[in-house]
Amino acid sequence: MITDPATDVFEQHRPVLMGVAYRMLGRVTDAEDVVQDAWLRWSAADRDEVRDTRAYLVRITTRVALDRLRRIRARNEAYVGCWLPEPYAAEHAGLVPDSAEGALLAESASLAVLVLLESLSPLERAVFVLREAFGYPYGEIAAILDRAEPAVRQLAARARRHVDERRPRYDVDPGRRRELTERLLAAAREGDLDGLVQLLAPDARLVGDGGGKSRAPLRVLETADRIGRFLVGAARKSPPGRSVRLVELNGAPAALYLCDGTPDAVLQVDVVDGRVQTVHLIRNPDKLRSLTGL
């Protein structure tokens, strides 16, 4: 079997490229398009002139992702309801949760952090992803973005300060999150409103994303009582043939709802002080396609 060296080299770096693109864009399809564009540029490049293949490919991917991110921002201004990132299976997007750097990479691709990154400028987001998630030195980031190193340091400081000021101190223990997810699902299924309220923090929030294509709250639901009533009502209206299973998405446990085998919704919780602080509910079918077959 004849192999193409250019393809072999690119495939070796694909997980990192996908990881950068996904954290930049928060959408699987857009990230895959960016990586495909990077491949086309790599296949047409004079590779004999490339001294550091990984740096070259990351530079191409980051720049293409920046251009796409600016276009997505304009598209999202007309988005119906709340926007959430597209969930991604743990073995993808460069999460590598069993590596020494896995915890940092997993957090940088969590739904909570990706939502925060939406409030950064495109350049701030690129610097944050390259520096905080992948540990690139400032000098290399400056070369990737074609910016002066002092300017990159300023962008990094602004981005880190913005994220740190708004990042909730979630309990990231996967066992605890899985347990609370299971208890939340059971209480909703049994119509146990009091049990749900006990699992939820008093100031809990539920953020739903239907994208105008599936039923989901158009605004953030607040307080344990309102969220509990919503979850009980949704469970009662569950259609025949709907099932749920626990999977790992974005480095954390999540409930994947299936209707006749087709992904219908994803529910993932964030935990603070042993209680559910945030419920993310994704029902936009465009954001569930990559989960088919899980």
State the CATH number of the domain containing residue 33: 1.20.140
b/e code 117-140 from CB counts within 10 Å (16+ = b):
beebebbbbbbbbbbbbbebebeb
Do both 139 and 105 map to the same domain?
yes
Do both 44 and 67 map to the same domain?
yes
The domain total for the chain is 2
Answer yes or no: are the C-beta atoms of 34 and 110 closer than 8 Å: no
Do both 192 and 157 map to the same domain?
no
Do both 132 and 256 map to the same domain?
no
Domain-ending residue, one of 136, 166, 196: 166
Tell me whether strands 275-282 and 262-272 are parallel, antiparallel or unpaired: antiparallel
Domain-ending residue, one of 137, 166, 195: 166
Would you write out the chain's pLDDT as a tens digit for each of its 294 residues? 445 777 888 999 998 999 999 999 999 889 999 999 999 999 888 877 888 889 999 999 999 999 999 888 777 677 889 999 999 886 554 544 444 344 455 677 889 889 999 999 999 999 999 998 888 999 999 999 999 999 999 999 999 999 988 877 777 688 899 999 999 999 999 999 999 999 999 999 999 999 999 999 999 999 999 999 999 999 999 888 889 999 999 888 999 999 988 999 999 999 999 999 999 999 999 999 989 877
The boundaries of the domain holding residue 23 are: 5-166
CATH of the domain at 287: 3.10.450.50
Domain-ending residue, one of 114, 139, 166: 166
Residue 278, φ and ψ in degrees, nearest 5: -135, 135
